[in-house]
Structure formats: C-alpha cells, structure tokens
Amino acid sequence: MTSSNAYEAERLELMRRRGAVAASLATVLVPLFGIADYVNYRAHFAPLMTVRAISGVVGAMLFLLIRRQRGDRRLPWLAILLTLQCGIAIAGVPVYITGIQTPHYVSESLLLLATTAMLPWALPQVTILTLALTAMYVVAGTLHGPLPDFVLFFTQLSAIVVTAAIGFVVNLLNESMRAREFTARSELQAASKEKTRLISHLEKMTARLATANEDMQERQRETDDFLYVLSHDLRAPLINIQGFGKRLQTDMGGLSALVSADDEATKRLNRMKQSLDFLNAGTAKIDQLISRLLDVARLTTRPNRHEWIDADHMVRNVVSACRFQLEGAGVDVSIEALPRIFGDATQLNQVFTNLIDNAIKYMGDVPRKEIAIRCTTQGDRYRFAVCDSGPGIEPKDREKVFRLFARLAPNGSAAGEGVGLATVRAIINHHGGRIWVDSTPGQGSTFYFTLPKAAAEPSEEPKKVMVRRQSNSKAEETPIHAQ
C-alpha cells in the first residue's frame, strides 16, 4: 500500500469511528430536545417531537450503515447525510414552525463548527455541507412567511456563514496537522522496521561471526597440533641421522690412518669426511629450526602462567643481557618508564628479547644507531613501542616480517631463521593484544604491540630480591619484584 492510499484509508477509518459516535449522540439526545420543546414550544410540541423522533430513527439507521463494512466507500456522504438530518431536526423544522426570531441559528452554527472540526472531511465535502446547511436555514426562514425583521434574519445568517468559515479554517488546520502527524508516524514506523531489520541482520552476522570464529579457533588448534606433532616426529629420525653421522665421522678418522699410504683412498675419504661435515651442519640447522617450531607450537598449548611483572625492570634486564651485542654494534638504548603488567613473564621476556635482538641484527651501517623503548596508555590497553634507527622496512614487507621463516636481509647477511617475529606475534596474540610495524625506508622502524590492562594489582607490598647483573665490567645489585 502506497503512502497516499494508507493515508486515505486511515482518514476513512477515523471518519467511521467519529461518524458512529455522532450518529449515536444524535439518537441519544432526542429526549433532551423533547424536554426543551415542551418547556419553550409547548404549542408546537407534537410536530417538533415527531420530527425529532424521526431524526432519532434516521440517526440509528445511519449508525448501522456507518458501522457496516459495505459502507466504506460511502462514508463521507453518509456523514453529510447525518449532519443534514441533524440540521433539519434541530434548526430547519423548528425555524419553519416557530419563526426566525428563535435562537435556532445558534444550534446551526454549533453544528457546523462541530462537524467541520471533528470529522475528517475533504474540502469539497466541507463546502457542500456548509452550502447545504446555510441554504436550509434560508429556505426554512422563507417558508415561514414574510420576514418580520430582515436585519435580524441577515444577522443570524451572517453568524452561520462566519461560523462555517471558521469551521472551514479549522478543517484545513486539522487536515494539515493530521498529514504531518501521519508522515512523521510513517517515517518512525519505517525507521523502526529498518532498525528491526538491521538488528536481525546484526544478530545473524554475529551468529555467523561466532561460528566462523569457532571454526577458526578449531582450525588453529588443529594447525598447532599438527605443527607440534610434525616437529616432534621429524626430530626423532633427525637425531638418529645426527648420531650415525657422528659415528661415521669417527670411524672415517680411524680409516684415514689405515689408508695413509694410498693417495687415492685418502682423497676419497677426505671428500666423504667433507660431505659428512656438510651433512652434520645441515642436520644441526634443521634441528634448530624444528626446536623453534616446537617453541611456537607450545605457545598456544601450554597453560597460562600470568602474574604481575615489572616491565621496566624486565626490559632493563633484557638490555643488560644484550650488552655485549649492543656494545659490539655501537647501539645506544633509551628506556622510558614502563608500567607493571599482567602476563606470562617468560613469554613477554622473549618478546622484548626478540624485538631488541632483531633491531640489533638489522641495524645495518647507519651513522646513528639507537633503540628506544617506551609505553603509552590507550583506554584499557598499554601500547608498547620498540623503535630503531635502522634502514627501515618497505610498505609491502610490513606484514611479511611476521611470517614464519621470512627474512628481509639480502643474501642472508643477518643471522637467524626468520622465526623470531612470528614467535613474538604468537605471544602477543596469546595475551589478547596485537602487533604491527610502522616504518619509513631510510628512517628506521617502530614495532608496536598492545597488552590489555588487568584488574588492579593486589595491595600488599611485593617482596624484593637482589639479583646480580654484569654491566660495564662492574657487578650491580638490582632489586626486582618476586611474584
């Protein structure tokens, strides 16, 4: 149903309800008019009561017609007919019988004002009704006989016309207000339906997202289990290869003494020994990679061991442990005040160790070598930043650096297996945070990661223990908080 059709249907329904009320009132008020007739017009009581009784019967019939469904298309005309018969009953016939000097024009005026204000007429219907009631009053006065007082009659007629004009304006205002109210209500209903639709869509998307998240978590668990089993199963035969390779190397050392006189045999033994050296070096490299893979796999399978950690003290210990590499590379480190955080101390220590070690390895040959570590607060999270003044990372490689075995140093110029940053991301994800890198080539890189703030730390004072560390060839004692 279009908006105009819906508005017209609502207007007709309103007319039905109000027309039924008007018809019932026209029927019920007949006895009251009978009392007034008996008091004021006792000489004309019989004809007046006859007219009013007929009016009550007609009003009851119109009430039944208005209430019936088949009267929908004729509702405006049934309402006009009801108003006209009321006008005839309360003004037309009384004026004809008693004369225009009586105050029945007041009843006519009130009828016009009430019907034009209360019933939702269309403008043509209001015009027809006004003309009909005014003409009825003129005809009733004319049929009564010669006008005894033309000025009085004209005054009464003017009052009816002015009242009709007021009713006309009131009808226009009512129609305008109803149209605005209907438009606002329609827009509100449309907005409510759209909101309901969006809520339903959001609920469906939330359910799908929850299902997809469960599937992703299940696949992640399967991947972690597969990685762990694969790494574990690969390591067993690798240990055998390493063991037998070393045994062959030892046996070939003994054979070299037996065949020292034979130059050809000695050459072949040397080549075989060299091949075994390469084999042992390769298996050692593979063993190291498998160990790193096992470490990554254990991050999501080992139980949480979260505790309160003094991040500032932990980072300074990490920097102290890396003092040899820092001094060898000529790198200066600055650390801003860091907060106490809640997490796995071993894993978070590994995060800072890997990020600092990574910054040292990839610092390159730049005139100013610096590493800065700081932390800011963002709502309910801490945001840590590890900045370096190295060569930077190309935009296309920013996500690649966090992948397993991804290395950006050309020709293997930096040591490592490409597992460190992948391990860092796994640890941060395991703690409910995220990690990313912001870098400009030639201006250094900044690795950001977030950690959620935990509830307030217990109020009791943590114990302190003294830990010795070596810095600049001097033994230092540093208090740390024991958990």
In this structure, which topology does domain 306-482 adopt according to CATH? Answer: Heat Shock Protein 90 (3.30.565)
Residue 412 banded pLDDT, cuts 50, 70, 90? very low
* Measured distance CA(338)–CA(424) in Å, rounded: 19
pLDDT at residue 334 in the model: 93
| SS3 (DSSP) at 375 | strand
Q: Are 167 and 117 in contact (CB under 8 A)?
A: yes
CB within 8 Å of 423: residues ≥ 6 apart: 292, 295, 296, 299, 350, 354
For 329-342, what is the mean pLDDT? Answer: 92
Average pLDDT, the chain: 78
pLDDT at residue 236 in the model: 64
Nearest in space to 87 (alpha carbons), one of 60, 52, 117: 52
Residue linked to tokens 């160790």: 353
One-letter amino acid at 312 equals D
Other beta carbons less than 10 A from residue 78's beta carbon: 18
For the chain, how are helix, strand and coil distributed in percent, rounded to 5? 70, 15, 20
- The tens digit of pLDDT for each residue in 392-402 reads 888 888 888 88
Report the alpha-carbon angle 24-90-47, nearest 5.
Answer: 105
Other beta carbons less than 10 A from residue 347's beta carbon: 20
Nearest in space to 409 (alpha carbons), one of 443, 369, 465, 360: 360
Q: Are 75 and 16 in contact (CB under 8 A)?
A: yes
Q: Are 362 and 391 in contact (CB under 8 A)?
A: yes
Partners of residue 449 on adjacent β-strands: 384, 435
Residue linked to tokens 């590379």: 329
DSSP run (H or E) holding 335: strand 332-335
Best-predicted range by mean pLDDT among 159-163, 400-404, 416-420? 159-163
Other beta carbons less than 10 A from residue 384's beta carbon: 25
Whole-angstrom CA distances from 114 to 111, 135, 163, 171, 270 are 5, 18, 10, 10, 122
Percent above pLDDT 90 for the chain: 17
pLDDT at residue 336 in the model: 92
- Enter the tokens of residue 482: 């024991």
pLDDT at residue 464 in the model: 39
CB within 8 Å of 114: residues ≥ 6 apart: none
Which stretch of 195-199, 279-283, 377-381, 445-449 has the lowest confidence by average pLDDT? Answer: 279-283
- The tens digit of pLDDT for each residue in 419-470 reads 778 888 888 988 889 999 999 888 899 999 999 988 766 554 444 333 333 3
| SS3 (DSSP) at 445 | strand
